[in-house]
Each structure stands twice: as C-alpha cells, then as structure tokens.
Structure 1
Amino acid sequence: LVLAVAELGHLAVELLRRGAAPKACEAAARKLNAGVDTVQHGVEGLMYLLTESSKLMISEMDFQDSIHVLGFSDELNKLLLQLYLDNRKEIRSILGELAPKLPSYHSLEWRLDVQLASRSLRQQIKPAVTIKLHLNENEDLTTQVLQTDPSTLLHLIQQLEQALGEMKTNHCRRIARNMK
C-alpha cells in the first residue's frame, strides 16, 4: 500500500507539472494491478490534498493532523507528509502560474457632458459622465470607455466604499490571509 501511494503521489505531482497524462495512469494501473479509474481517482484525491494544503500553506503539524483523521498507518502518514514537504513550494509556484492575469489600473480620464440650453427641450436635462479607463493587460495598454448618469455613479461609489470598508473586518482579513 505504501509503494502504491508513493507511485500515486509521484503521478499526482507530475500531473500538476505537465497536465493530463492518461498513458501514465494506465501504466501505473498495470504496475499496481488496479483499475485505471481507481488509479485516476487516487491521483485526483492526492492532487487535491497537495494543492489545497499548499494553497493554504499549512504547517507540518496541521498537515499531520489533517491526514491522521483519515485513519492511515503511521508509515503512510509519514510518506504523505514527506510528499507534501518535498513538493509544496513547487506546487505553489505552479498554482501561481495558473492564476489568471487580470488587467490592472493605469490611468483614468473623465468628462461631464451637459447640454446648457435649448428652447425645444421641455423636460429636465440629464447630465452624463463619460469615463475613459486605461488598463495594463499583459504589458499592453487597453482602453475602456464607460458612460453613466451621476446618480448611478454615486451609487457605484457608495457600493465600492462599502466593499472597501468590509475588507477591514476581521473575517475578510482572515480570508485574505488564507488566500496568500
């Protein structure tokens, strides 16, 4: 069982590095005298354990406590711990590369458009705010032009300020700390 888990652990790390490898799963299934589905589920389970543990950067003790609950032998627990310790930095770097590259703020231009006077208009004039947002996206500069009325813009500002205020709560700080 320990040799099988060692083989599955090696396969899980390789799967993270290179992506799906059905031939490797088939070869491991033949080597372990098990079904391909069984091997694939084992690899996926180990991969989930390793990625989540690496994402949360859990300590050696926390990892041991997490896998101790599963009821494996001490030898198997030590093997899983060693697999985690040997590969956690590499797994974190792989997960960092897989994260989407989101556009970032570069600059902003705005303009308030108002019609000053007209004899033909009988209703109230509605002003418009035009915003030109410049973003950095993969080293390229992109531009988004947005237009809204002042009341919608004020509502948007209030919602963003409320969201920034919520980021200062202890609950959000814990979540943000765990995401790093």
Structure 2
Amino acid sequence: MLLVLSDEHKEHLGFLPEVDSAVVGEFGRIAVEFLRKGSNPKIYEGAARKLNVTAEIVQHGVEGLMYLLSESSKLMISEVDFQDSVLVLGFSEELNKLLLQLYLENRKEIRLILSELAPSMPHYHNLEWRLDAQLASRALRQQVKPVLNLKLQLDDNGTRRTHLLQTDPATLLHLIQELERALAEVKTNHCRRILRNIK
C-alpha cells in the first residue's frame, strides 16, 4: 500500500534536501517527540537560528516529517512501499535511505504513541432481546402493542456495562432502514473519495 502525499505535504518536506542528513535525523527525533509530548515552539526557533531560516519553515519540515512517519506507521506499510511513497518526492538516494531508517527505527514507538492517543470506545459484547406483546385487554379489545426489550452489553476497557433499551417494532424497522441506507451510502463513489482523502 502506497502512501499518498498531498501537494502541501510535499512542499513541507521539500525543505529536507536543503539541510544535512544529521539535521534530518534530528528533525525525525523532534517529530517523534512532537507526537509524544506535543509541539514546542522554542525548539523550532532554536533550529531556525542555527539553519538561518524562519521558524515556520522548520516547523513545517518537522510536521511534514511527523505526518509521513505517523501515517506510514499507522498503515504499517512495508519497506518497499515506504521507499516507493517517498520516491515521488524526488529526494536523493541517501535522503531516501535516511527516511527509511527513521521509519524502521521509530514505527513501533509511533504505533504505541498513536494507540495511547486513540480514544477508547466501548465495543459490543452481547445482545439479548425479548418481544413482549399484550394479547388482549378489556379496555382495548382490538389493539395489540408489541414492545421489543433489548439488553445490550458493552465492553469498556475490561468493564462490562449493561444497557436496557425498549422500542416498538415500527421504530426498530425505521432504525434498520436508516442504517441500511447509511451502509449503502458508504459504498457510493462520492463517499469513497471522501474517505480516501480522510485517510
């Protein structure tokens, strides 16, 4: 799987061939630190003074490198795919090897950082349901009012939570139709294009 880089991202990474390989390695360290602890403007200003460029250029270079490393780590792309993804940037062979080395050395740590940053969402464990219907009543002779009782169990970081829900069949059918419509919408070309750009 190849990593698709936007023009803006390519522009941010375009600063890397202008600096020494040791500086690129330091940018890689700063990018991983940026993921771990957040941005630090003082680091950008100090590096900008040493390189005689603006702090914004350094910041864009580090953020571009951080994006390249984090997206590659998130998708767990192979060495060959990483090299092919970086090849479109037009960097020298030495810089491409340095970027690959940065990726291989840091991908496990980056994946660990990204997993810690991801929100913890409860997930499905079990669902039990029961259909209750009042068959007859002296007050309402012809009406039958079925009710669907649901017992939904969700796992939230090892703790199991139970939610009791109640609905009538008409509402449940409407909910099913809306979910099926949403699933069908995801399969459209327009939605696929949007999802591709989000990734």
Tell me the TM-score range normalised by the shorter chain: 0.7 to 0.9
Residue identity in the other structure for 1:45: G
Question: 71, 75, 82: which is aligned to 1:56?
Answer: 75
Structure 2: distance between partners of 1:6 and 1:35 = 19
Distance 2:43 2:108 in 1: 24
Indicate the residue corresponding to 1:97 in structure 2: 116
Map 1:84-163 onto structure 2 (within 5 A).
84-121=103-140, 124-153=143-172, 156=176
Structure 1 unaligned segments of length 5 or more: list them. Answer: 164-178
- CA separation in 1, counterparts of 2:58 and 2:147? 61
Is contact 2:136–2:142 with CA below 8 Å preserved after alignment?
Answer: no
For residues 67 and 106 of structure 1, do their structure 2 counterparts lie closer, same or farther at Cα, with a shift above 3 Å needed?
closer
Match of 2:145, SS state, is coil
Q: Matches of 1:64 and 1:119 in 2, distance apart?
A: 77
* Runs of at least 5 residues in structure 2 that lack an aligned partner in the other structure: 1-18, 184-198
Letter in 2 for 1:98: L
Residue 19 and residue 130 in structure 1: after superposition, are their counterparts in 2 closer, same or farther (change >3 A)? same
SS in 2 for 1:55: helix
Q: Is the 8 A contact 1:108 1:131 kept in 2?
A: yes
The answer to whether the 8 Å contact 1:4/1:32 transfers is: no
Matched residue type, 1:137: D
Residue 40 of structure 1, aligned match among 24, 34, 59: 59
Does structure 2 conserve the Cα–Cα contact (< 8 Å) formed by 1:104 and 1:137? yes
Shift of 1:45: 0.7
What's the offset of the Cα at 1:123? 5.7
Tell me the residue number matched to 1:15. Answer: 34
Aligned residue number for residue 172 of structure 1 = none
Q: Residues 111 and 92 of structure 1: is their aligned pair in 2 closer, same or farther, counting only changes over 3 Å?
A: same
| Cα root mean square deviation, aligned | 3.0
- Residue in 1 aligned with 2:45? 26
Q: Which stretch of structure 1 is more off in the superposition, 39-48 or 143-152? A: 143-152
Identity percentage of aligned residues: 66
Q: Distance in 2 between matches of 1:68 and 1:109?
A: 53
